[in-house]
Amino acid sequence: MTCSCIDFSDAVVDNVHFPEKVRQIRIFSDLSVEGLFLHVRFNRKYFVHRSLVGDGRMRMLGGFPSIGVAQAREQARYFNERDRAAGRPIVTFAECFTAFMKRKTSFRSRAHVHLLERMKRSILDRRVNPFCDQALDEITKDDIAKLVTAIRDGGTPFLARQCLSRLRSMFGWAAREKRFALTPARNPMADLTNHTFDLAKEHVVLTRAELALYAIASGRLPTARERALAKSLLLSGFRIRDLALMRWLELDLDKKVWTSTSSSGHLVNVHLSDAMCQLLAGLRSSRLNDHDDDYVFGTRGRPFSRPRGFKASLDRLIEQAAHETGPGASVRRWRFVDLRHTVIALLIDQGLDSRMIKIALGGRPTILLFNHGVSHAVAIRAAMNRHADRVAAFNTTNIREQD
């Protein structure tokens, strides 16, 4: 592998030809700035800085044309001055974070891997993280606060919470590793928590206007299975993972009972409203080929397993319905569990106490209520029917109403 010396410029770098072989690499050094190199691979070009002291470690500066020659030279000069002054290579935030993430060699699931990749992209995004190339011991608490706030405002509170937790672990690990020269006293994460950035989990209760938009969007979903699932979430207040595992053999639509299995393994009789039974009966009549052992909202003998795509479709249809309604109509950022919280709030308005609500939403009744099974079943079904009537009243005329 040979290295050619050229005077870098944007035009010169742009005219450098890519190698013909996939694994071949061409390396060029800059005549103006010591330690600045250009690596050219099969389909990309990127600038690299090689430390002038120590073991000559390599630092990735960025790809061309994302950063130009002037910016690459400025970064290389900065690293040269820091290396000469300290007498050792300066470890940047990006280098430390990359080394920390490489320690995670085993993952629990594919979703965990996907989450780690999202966190890495968000934290190392130079558009929101200006201290990527700063020395680790120069980063302050305010720098971390600005980064986490930018991730929270541009993504989701969940992602910001995960990034904050990962940053706290990284700085703690770096303080224990002698090679990073970061003392515990200079750890910027000491006073930063989820409550510092208002990242604590919040329970959202949807208003009448928001529920009306949700009802309109649920009726516009493409398939009968998806429409029934969206309406069932609002009619019953069940978790989407519980509805995904509902089977036809567990339902007795004549008695209006769903015999489900709780998380502890006990069988629980869930009392369904008349509207919920009519919805399930209509879905059953449209799917005559289903077997008794099939999942109600699944396909081909498999349970429903795409909540993210389902949520994205609902969000798109809700936004469309809000646009058709006019200015002022919108829905806050919501989750499926917020529908459950909204149903609980509406059942409280119906006069149901907390124990009854727990049973209505699939919880196991207490010993006291076991002795009054008939009476609490009647009260629950009556409250669920009143709730279904209230849900059926949502239409475009009350979208602008507020609770």
> Per-residue confidence at 229, pLDDT binned at 50, 70, 90?
very high
Residue 369 has pLDDT above 60, yes or no: no
Does residue 44 carry a pLDDT above 60? yes
Distance CA 357, CA 206 (A): 18
Q: What is the pLDDT of residues 133-157, one digit of tens each?
A: 888 878 888 888 888 888 887 767 7
Q: Provide the H-helix boundaries in 249-370.
A: 274-286, 307-325, 336-349, 354-360, 367-370
Give the residue with greater pLDDT, 185 vs 212. Answer: 212
pLDDT confidence of residue 398: 53
CA distance 23 to 26: 10
Residue-level pLDDT at 62:
86
Torsion angle (degrees, nearest 10) of CA 52, 54, 58, 61: -50
Tell me: pLDDT of 308 over 50: yes
- Pairing relationship of beta strands 3-6 and 26-30 according to DSSP bridges: parallel
Total-model pTM? 0.54
Please report the pLDDT score of residue 268 as a whole number. 78
Q: Are 48 and 37 in contact (CB under 8 A)?
A: yes
Q: What are 266's two structure tokens?
A: 């006990």
CA distance 45 to 323: 44
Rounded percentage of the chain residues whose pLDDT exceeds 70: 80
Q: What is the pLDDT of residues 64-74, one digit of tens each?
A: 888 899 999 99
CA dihedral 40, 46, 52, 55 (to 10 degrees): -80
- Residue 373's alpha-carbon distances to 343, 344, 359, in angstroms, are 22, 21, 11
Peptide bond into 19 cis (omega under 30): no
Q: Mind listing the domains of the chain with CATH numbers?
A: 3-90 (3.30.160.390), 94-197 (1.10.150), 208-398 (1.10.443.10)
Q: Decide which of 214 and 355 is more confident.
A: 214
Distance set, CA 374 to CA 22, 236, 238, 255 (Å)? 74, 20, 22, 13
| pLDDT tens digits, 323-339 | 888 777 777 878 888 88
Lowest mean pLDDT among 9-23, 121-135, 176-190: 176-190
Per-residue confidence at 292, pLDDT binned at 50, 70, 90? Answer: low
Q: Give me the sign of the Cα torsion angle 284, 289, 292, 295.
A: negative
Q: What is the pLDDT of residue 367?
A: 43
